[in-house]
Amino acid sequence: MSNSLDAYLILSGILFSIGTFGFLARRNAISMLMSIELMLNAVNLTIIAFAAFGAFGATAEGVSRGSVIALMVISVAAAEATVGLAIIIAIYRNRRTPLVDEYDAMRQ
């Protein structure tokens, strides 16, 4: 099983759908952010699996080409988490609630 690409892809598909469920179903803004992190990790696992099984070229250079993309995704995810949490804290300071369905100032 550890030498079949399908196993890793199905695993990351399951992780991605769990993240989708969390993003759609949770009311807390930070829970939604954690679900986004789960989905980003699923995508990263897909990239690494494809790279390890030779989708970017069946050499060591091909594997490292894919891994560079994964490293970039990790650093972009770090930036995204920073700004997202800062936005949530700024909204929380004004509205005094972390629940997204009470952020309705732009609807009125």
Q: Please name the residues in contact with 39: beta carbons below 8 A apart, sequence gap of 6 or more.
A: 15, 16, 19, 20, 23
> Minimum CB separation from other proteins for residue 32, in Å?
10
End-to-end CA gap in the chain: 54
**CB-nearer residue toward other proteins: 63 or 104:** 63
Which residue type sits at 2? S
Nearest residue (CB) to other proteins, 3 versus 108: 3
Shorter beta-carbon distance to other proteins: residue 101 or 104:
101
- Say if residues 65 and 56 touch (Cβ distance below 8 Å): yes
Min dist CB 108 to other proteins, Å, is 19
